[in-house]
């Protein structure tokens, strides 16, 4: 089954629980269509480089999935229709990296990798 990584940005005026609830909601959409979420991370509220829909900040979330293409397309379609989601990025990868994503690693660990 193909492997994907998804990052989405939700509106800044949501609570942390609501933003994490979006991850769970879209995980169930994938599960209903034959996919599964391998790992998910909530990156928190971050400042964006430019305004999106008059918002300077947003809740960032990351998901690693193993899903068929139709399940990913349905999840992306629902994300784009959802009022709380501002941006979506999906990338097909050959394999998932072990451990946390680069955003969640400590700065010292990032320096060691260079």
Looking at domain 3-113, its CATH architecture is 2-Layer Sandwich (3.30)
Structure tokens that stand for 33 in this block: 């269509």
Block means of pLDDT (10 residues each) for the chain, 114 residues, are 92 91 92 91 91 92 93 93 93 85 69 61
Report the C-alpha gap between 84 and 80 in whole angstroms: 9
* pLDDT score for 112: 64
Q: Give this prediction's pTM.
A: 0.84
CB 6 within 8 A of CB 90: yes
Which parts of the chain fold into alpha helices (H)? Answer: 16-32, 69-81, 107-113
Structure tokens that stand for 101 in this block: 């994503």
CB 60 within 8 A of CB 46: yes
Beta-sheet pairing, 36-52 with 3-11: unpaired
Report the C-alpha gap between 95 and 41 in whole angstroms: 17
* pLDDT score for 79: 93
Domain boundaries, the chain: 3-113
* pLDDT score for 71: 92
Structure tokens that stand for 19 in this block: 């933003």
* pLDDT score for 99: 76
* pLDDT score for 113: 61
């Amino acid at each position: 089954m193909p492997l994907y990584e998804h990052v989405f940005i939700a509106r800044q005026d949501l609570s942390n629980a609501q933003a994490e609830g979006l991850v769970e909601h879209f995980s169930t959409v994938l599960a209903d269509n034959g996919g599964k979420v391998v790992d998910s991370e909530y990156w928190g509220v971050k400042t964006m480089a430019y305004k999106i829909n008059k918002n300077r900040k947003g809740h960032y979330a990351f998901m690693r999935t193993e899903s068929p293409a139709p399940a990913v397309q349905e999840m992306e379609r629902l994300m784009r229709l959802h009022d709380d989601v501002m941006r979506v990025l999906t990338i097909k990868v050959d394999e998932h990296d072990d451990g946390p994503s680069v955003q969640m690693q400590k700065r010292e660990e990032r320096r060691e990798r260079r």
